[in-house]
Amino acid sequence: MPKTAFDRAEYVERLSKTKGYMAAADLDLLIVSQPENMDYLSGYANQTYPFLGFIIVVPEDDEPLWLGRESTDMPAALLTSFMGRDRFIGYPESCHSGSEIWETNSDDTVESFLANVLAERGWEKRRIGLEVETSNLPANFLQRIQNLLPDATLVQADGLGRRMRIVKSLKEVEYIRQAGVMVERAMDVAIASIAEGARQCDTAAAAYQALISGTPEFGGRIPEIEFTVGDRQPALRSLWTDEPYRQGELASLELFANRLGYKAAVTRSVSVGKPSDFVANMMAVVIDAMHEASERIRPGITYGQVGEMFHTAISRHGYEARPGVGYSFNDWGDDAKAAWLAPGDDMVFAPNHIVHMIPIMRMENGDWSLSMSSTLRVMETGAPEQITSAPNQLIIKA
């Protein structure tokens, strides 16, 4: 079994690209703490979210440094990362600043350990970029490091990782296609479970099982499901209940398959029984507008322009959608997207951007909401590749 999801050459290329971003930002050291960025630069794949871990990049080194918990996370890092054994540094379990579990003092914290590592290597006076807007770090982490390294110039480097990861390699595209296969199969399973009298939670269970088991050739990591039914429809990101489906209800299912950290998503709206003429007509309008806008995605135009195309198409029918109708897919659990399909976003499409187009039409505080989505890959020329190829349509379960 391969140690990492990619070969060494791909990680070396990513490191080179990162150093280019560092040079443009006038950084001579980068400390990455967001889990998806740690994985991107090293291959490290482990759930360490309650605790602190870092990837340290310096221009003169061929490999990054990994720094994390010695007895708990370092074994996983050694198993999943591409670097040589000497590139791993473990801190003792007692170094957990900000945790009520551990009694720590100023000389026994993750910050002091990290600062000592940098000082021992002569890096204590560098201009250092640091990701700080992550779920892992305490709010005052940057200031604590600055106090320990008074001669360093510390710069927030949040967003750098998202920009690095937005253009996918061909191997990444392959994993995203596999995720596309898994998510479409899971959607078929979920839809098949919906019927009057069946429980919502059983649909969620069936979807999770299908997303994780995948296919005979490849399986999935931890997936995501967003699932609203009936009068909960307008409450985006609410969850299922153990209530049964009822005649006349609408259900919206948004499924994200995860293949080695790479995602593809599909959203479908399901009507339990015959939908009203209004719902059927509204869905037809949404589907037409999606097709019109998505088919015009090309390198060189902006995300904002495509967002405007959708809004122009939907407004011809007298309707209005929320401003954002999709986003770039940067994988993992990263909610801070690099670009939005919304008027005004000036990010320019480039080949091998992955886009999740998901317009949502809803009645505020009402009893209906409709959504539909596709995962797309921007091509060198021509219309985008449909990573998820299931037809966009309102599903009717009699």
pLDDT of residue 335: 46
pLDDT band at 30 (very low <50, low <70, confident <90, very high): very high
pLDDT of residue 392: 87
| CA 64 – CA 15 distance, rounded (Å) | 8
What pTM was estimated for this model as a whole? 0.91
Tens digits of residue pLDDT in 83-133: 999 999 999 987 864 444 444 445 678 899 999 999 999 999 999 999 887
pLDDT band at 32 (very low <50, low <70, confident <90, very high): very high
Instruction: Indicate whether 77 pLDDT > 50.
Output: yes
Instruction: Indicate whether 149 pLDDT > 70.
Output: yes
Tens digits of residue pLDDT in 90-100: 999 878 644 44
Enumerate residues 6+ apart whose C-beta is below 8 A from 176.
Answer: 168, 259, 262, 263, 264, 329, 354, 375, 377, 387
Q: Helix, strand, or coil here: 304? A: helix
Over residues 179-190, mean pLDDT: 97
pLDDT of residue 310: 95
| CA 205 – CA 227 distance, rounded (Å) | 12
| CA 176 – CA 174 distance, rounded (Å) | 5
Tens digits of residue pLDDT in 314-365: 999 888 888 889 999 865 444 446 789 999 999 999 999 999 999 888 654 4
Enumerate residues 6+ apart whose C-beta is below 8 A from 336.
Answer: 133, 158, 159, 162
Q: What is the mean pLDDT of the chain?
A: 89
Residue 216 CB coordination number (10 Å): 6
| CA 318 – CA 209 distance, rounded (Å) | 41
pLDDT band at 50 (very low <50, low <70, confident <90, very high): low
Question: Are 131 and 160 contacting, i.e. CB atoms less than 8 angstroms apart?
Answer: yes
Q: Which residue has the higher pLDDT, 105 or 33?
A: 33
Over residues 140-145, mean pLDDT: 87
Instruction: Indicate whether 63 pLDDT > 70.
Output: yes
Q: Which residue has the higher pLDDT, 382 or 333?
A: 382
Q: DSSP letter string over 250-265?
A: EEEEEEEEEETTEEEE
pLDDT of residue 360: 81
Instruction: Indicate whether 209 pLDDT > 60.
Output: yes
Question: Are 370 and 361 contacting, i.e. CB atoms less than 8 angstroms apart?
Answer: yes
Q: Helix, strand, or coil here: 300? A: coil
pLDDT band at 49 (very low <50, low <70, confident <90, very high): low
Over residues 126-149, mean pLDDT: 87
Question: Are 318 and 293 contacting, i.e. CB atoms less than 8 angstroms apart?
Answer: no
Instruction: Indicate whether 248 pLDDT > 60.
Output: yes
Instruction: Indicate whether 81 pLDDT > 90.
Output: yes
Instruction: Indicate whether 370 pLDDT > 70.
Output: yes
Lookup: tokens for 114: 């990290």
